Amino acid sequence: MNFGELITAMVTPFDKDGKIDFNAAEILISHLLENGSDSILLGGTTGESPTLTDAEKFELFKFGVDKFGSKTKIIAGTGSYSTEHSIRLSQSACKAGVNCLLLVAPYYNKPSQTGLYEHFAAVANSVDLPVILYNVPSRTSCNISAKTCIKLSKIKNIVGVKEAGSDFKQIAEIIRDTGEDFFIYSGNDGDTLPMLSLGAHGVISVASHLVGGYIKEMIKSFKRGNIAESARLHNWLLDIFYGIFIATNPVPVKAALNFAGINVGGTRLPLTDMEQDELEVFKKILKKYNLMKVD
């Protein structure tokens, strides 16, 4: 049930025609594994899941399993605003052979806490795979409360939560009142060290596309008791942690990968390239971390 301390929520590479570029995906996954990632999340928000068809998601999940299943664990993003659709996607991901599912809170619908519980319980009970919940109120317009998360943790195959709400009281309550076999992951790179101090396990990261080795060392330093070194790395990485959200994710991180010489293409509409003023600021951040290989 342990998927490691550093999971990368991977972008989905596209070719010039806007199709999934599987050759680029293979290069990118190899890069991520060489730079600290323990597991790979495919088809999450950073992977532009709302613009991927179900057939594309299945193909992406199967590709990850077939190419890298012997080297890492593949986590599939299968949550949506429809419980029935989430069940269908989750069962399809099971057939593809993935190791775990990530289920985002149903967005747009704004369900009650009872609705959230019933949704996640229905999806988890429809599969045999481990499930990680994903709480990201800024994206979904609803919050999985601590009470609901704790209740859900008692379902056998719900094994963790990616918590991106930045509500540290709520996070502390979840850590306090769930078992040791329930893993709490930071959903924001900038929250990782503060959450580790409360007892979180690790991070499901976007910045790890670019600075995965440093993030891994930050986590390891903290867990070895070298708090000063962990804090130094956290503080040094702040500009990249927040810079990659200068525009809507994953627009900046895709641009950064392209500048770093790892070609992942652009984004699908409705996402578009950064504005020129955003791009100029972002390039300065990338230069600070020596990530500009291609101008």
Q: Is 73 a catalytic residue?
A: no
Distance CA 292, CA 284 (A): 9
Alpha-helical segments (H) within the chain: 22-34, 54-68, 83-96, 113-125, 137-140, 146-152, 168-177, 192-198, 208-224, 227-243, 251-259, 276-288
Start-to-end CA span in the chain (Å): 42
How far is residue 220 from each of residues 22, 201, 206, 225, measured CA to CA in Å?
32, 11, 18, 9
Q: At what angle do helices 83-96 and 113-125 cross, to 10 degrees?
A: 30
Catalytic residue among 117, 134, 185, 214: 134
| Token pair of 152 as six digits | 């859900």
Catalytic residue among 57, 162, 216, 254: 162
Q: Is 134 a catalytic residue?
A: yes
CB 190 within 8 Å of CB 165: no
CB 46 within 8 Å of CB 249: yes
How far is residue 237 from each of residues 52, 59, 194, 218, 219, measured CA to CA in Å?
31, 34, 14, 10, 13
> Where in the sequence numbering do the catalytic residues fall?
134, 162
